[in-house]
Structure 1
């Protein structure tokens, strides 16, 4: 393909990605477009671009098929693809009052104190504590994801609102619980150096999917 307007394609691609609030990792997760290739395209440094790469760019930028090629070859403005009704995400984000979280945790603590050393109820108390911790962790992760996406997450927020949860040592009875705790720490930039690179990459992919979900109009409920 004859290269004619790589700088124009780069400009419209960068502007569109910013408009959709997509990170390069999110684009990679959705269509498999290498972040380095995307950087070259956006910087106008792509001398040769394969057809399948342009097609992936169309899908990632939500353009009508052929728009990226038209911008690259003829400097034509991309055309947005017709929007089909958005499907419901696998996780629905809804307002969840912090007071309800606190009440749930407090209830678990109250039951534990009331039971005392009664071994007959020890298993029930342990399960209740685990459930309360999972609810608290799920709410914390969802709130951090929202703030991270909106660009409102600050170090002060982490220390003042989440410091207590991050410093304590909650139970991780299953591999999934342990993984969720590590994802929470990854979101806050507190992932231990001992975590394998492939596990960290899974967190990157998970965050990319969350960004895509938040980018769908009406998916963030105030």
Structure 2
């Protein structure tokens, strides 16, 4: 009987300790699950990076009116886990873009949209130089992350420098897209270029309405990638 009286308190002591340990472990497991969920949520958000010149930067407009911001609005309206980064820099040439691409790729990029070349064409940069610079940028992106989806924005220029130069410039983009197996926006300024009411006074940079059309040109190629 005495032994039984000694055993009972000991049993309850062990029982309460066990319950305490179980409760503690349960809390730790819940905390671990919450942390894992948070980490997974962070990992689920992907990045779309627009790498371009003043067309991407939205020169002369509010940043929220530039087509990358409009793409972000579209993505948010669909509840997609993508964050848009506007890495447009006014005056950027393909050579300048080639020089800063490593710095831009310090962040993780899931979709890379390359919009460069217009300033080369306006300045009469040799076609082969423009081609080499664009190829180098594509190569760098692929080397940094082979899984990054690359979209190349096609561009055309006025015939100021002659038909041969203009035609050669125009073919650079579809040829590079095919050679590198990347997606192509046939002409970023389609239905915008040359239309006075869709361009600012300089006749080069689109208005807010022009940017909306550009966003649609981009979305036609981007949508299947972000919604698949």
Would you call these one fold, judging by a TM-score over 0.5?
Answer: no
What is the TM-score when the length of structure 1 is the normalising length?
0.26
* Structure with higher strand content: 2
Bigger Rg, structure 1 or 2: 2
What is the TM-score when the length of structure 2 is the normalising length?
0.26
